[in-house]
Amino acid sequence: MSNKRNTAFFINGGAGRVICSIPALELYHEENPDDDFIIVCEGGMDFYKGHPILHKKAYDVFHKNLFEDKLIDRELKTPEPYRVWEYYNQKASLGQCYDIEINNKGVRELPRPKLKLSQQEAMSGLKLIEEVKEKTKKKKVIVFQPFGRGTINENGMIGDPSGRSFDPENVVNIVKKLSKDYGIIFMSEIAIEFNKHGVKEPVAIPQNIDLRFWCGIIQAADHFLGCDSVGGHIVNAIDGSATIVVGSTFKENISYPENPKFDILDMGEGARVYSPIRITMDEWSDRTNEGIMAMNETIEDLVVKSVHSMIKDGKRVEIPEAPEQEE
C-alpha cells in the first residue's frame, strides 16, 4: 500500500495566472490518476467555476476549516512560473511554466484553457453587446482593456509604474478613432469621461461586474483590444480575436504569438529591461520601463489598423518590431 500523500496546489496572483494554470492542472489530473489533488485559490477561483474537472477541486483560501478538513494530510505545493528558467529567459509562456512547475515534463505544447460559461453568463454578455449596438448604431462592438492590474489613479492622474498599460492620452485618441466605426465597451475599473475629451460617440463603461460577466461580454464581442492583463487570457481561452499591445513584458511569456487570431504590437522590443517580479525587487527595471507604452500618432494608427484588419478578414497587420517613435 502506497504512503504517498495527495497534493494541494496553491495558485496565487491575478486572474490571468489562474486561467494559465488550467491546462497544467488538467494534465496533472490525467497523468496522476491516483492523486486526489485539490486547488487552493489565493487570488480568486472564478475561472475554475464550471470546469468539468477542476470546479469540484477548487477551494477559496478563506474556506471554513480548510486546513483541518482538507490540508493537514496533504503535500502543499505552490507552483511559481515566474521563477522558472524558461520563463525569465523567454523560452516558455506563463501556462507552459505552470506545466513545468506542476508536471515537470519540460516545455511542451498545451491545450487551450477551458472556460465554460453558464447560459446566464453568455446571455448577459450578449445582452450588453446588443444594447451597445442599439445605443451606438454600430454593427460591431469591441472590448478595450487599456490598463493592467498595476495601474494607479491619483486624483485623476493615471499611470502604471509596471509599464504594462496604455498611456491615458493614447487611450482617448484610439477611442476617438475606433468609435467612428465600432461600439466600444471599456473594460476598466478606472473610468475616463470620454465626452469631456472630445469623444462624440457614446462609450459603455460597465462598473462593478465580475470577471465571469466579462467573459460573456468578450465572447459576444467582435474583437478585443488590450494590454498585458486578464482580458487577453480570456480571449485566448474562448478562441476569440485580439489586438494586444505589450511594453515592459515579453509576448513570449504573457501573450499568444503563435495564435493566428492574435495580432501583437511590441512596444518594448529592444528597449525594455526584464522585470524579475516574484524573484527580486528591481527598481532599475521599473524605472527603465516607465513610459515604454507611450505612442505617437503613427503607432496609434497602427493599433487602429490592426483592429480594422482583424475584424474585417482576420489578418494581422505587419507591424514592425520596435516601431520607431517620431519626435
Give the C-alpha separation, 178 to 246, whole Å.
19
Whether residue 320 is predicted with pLDDT greater than 80 in this model: the reply is no
Pair (153, 247) in one structural domain = yes
| Residue 247 binned pLDDT confidence (cut-offs 50, 70, 90) | very high
Whether residue 301 is predicted with pLDDT greater than 80 in this model: the reply is yes
Output the pLDDT for position 318: 67
Give the C-alpha separation, 165 to 151, whole Å.
7
Question: What are 20-53's pLDDT values in tens digits?
Answer: 999 999 999 999 999 999 999 987 788 999 999 9
Output the pLDDT for position 45: 87
Pair (285, 194) in one structural domain = yes
Pair (256, 301) in one structural domain = yes
Is residue 46 situated within a structural domain? yes
From the list 119, 115, 95, 111, the residue with the least C-alpha distance to 238 is: 115
Whether residue 321 is predicted with pLDDT greater than 60 in this model: the reply is no
Is residue 43 situated within a structural domain? yes
Q: How many CB atoms lie within 10 A of CB 210?
A: 10
Question: What are 67-108's pLDDT values in tens digits?
Answer: 999 999 999 999 999 999 999 999 999 999 999 999 999 999
Is residue 146 situated within a structural domain? yes
Strands (DSSP E) found in 67-201: 75-77, 141-145, 152-154, 157-159, 183-186
Among the three residues 43, 69, 103, which one is the final residue of a domain in this structure? Answer: 103
Question: What are 256-272's pLDDT values in tens digits?
Answer: 999 999 999 999 999 99
Question: What are 101-120's pLDDT values in tens digits?
Answer: 999 999 999 999 999 999 99
Exposure letters 56-93 (e unless 16+ CB within 10 A, then b): ebbbeeeeeebeeeebeebeeeebbbbebebbbeeebb
Pair (287, 165) in one structural domain = yes
Pair (285, 204) in one structural domain = yes
Pair (151, 248) in one structural domain = yes
Output the pLDDT for position 327: 46
Pair (293, 199) in one structural domain = yes
Residue 214: domain span: 119-313
- Stretch 315-327: mean pLDDT, rounded? 62
Q: Note the pTM of the prediction, 2 decimals.
A: 0.94
Pair (157, 278) in one structural domain = yes
Is residue 35 situated within a structural domain? yes
Pair (168, 72) in one structural domain = no
| Residue 1 binned pLDDT confidence (cut-offs 50, 70, 90) | very low
From the list 270, 269, 268, the residue with the least C-alpha distance to 290 is: 268
Is residue 321 situated within a structural domain? no
DSSP H helical segments within 32-167, as ranges? 66, 85-88, 94-103, 119-136
Output the pLDDT for position 156: 82
Task: Classify burial at 197, counting beta carbons within 10 Å of its beta carbon; exposed 0-12, middle 13-18, buried 19 or more.
Answer: middle
- Torsion-angle region of 245 (φ positive above 0: left; ψ -120 to 50: alpha; else: beta): beta
> Are 273 and 285 within 8 A, CB to CB?
yes
Output the pLDDT for position 155: 84
Q: 246 pairs with which residues across the strands?
A: 266
> Are 83 and 278 within 8 A, CB to CB?
yes
Here the CATH number for the domain that contains residue 299 is 3.40.50.2000
Is residue 295 situated within a structural domain? yes
Question: What are 149-207's pLDDT values in tens digits?
Answer: 889 999 888 999 999 999 999 999 999 999 999 999 999 999 899 999 999 999 999 99
The DSSP 8-state label assigned to residue 180 in this structure reads T
Pair (263, 291) in one structural domain = yes
Angle of the 119-136 helix axis to the 211-220 helix axis, nearest 10: 60
Pair (304, 233) in one structural domain = yes
Q: Which residues contact 39 (CB under 8 A, 6 or more apart)?
A: 8, 9, 10, 11, 25, 45, 48, 54, 57, 58, 59
Among the three residues 103, 127, 159, which one is the final residue of a domain in this structure? Answer: 103
Q: Which phi and psi angles does 321 have, rounded to 5°? A: -70, 150
Pair (209, 296) in one structural domain = yes
Count: domains in the chain: 2
Whether residue 279 is predicted with pLDDT greater than 70 in this model: the reply is yes
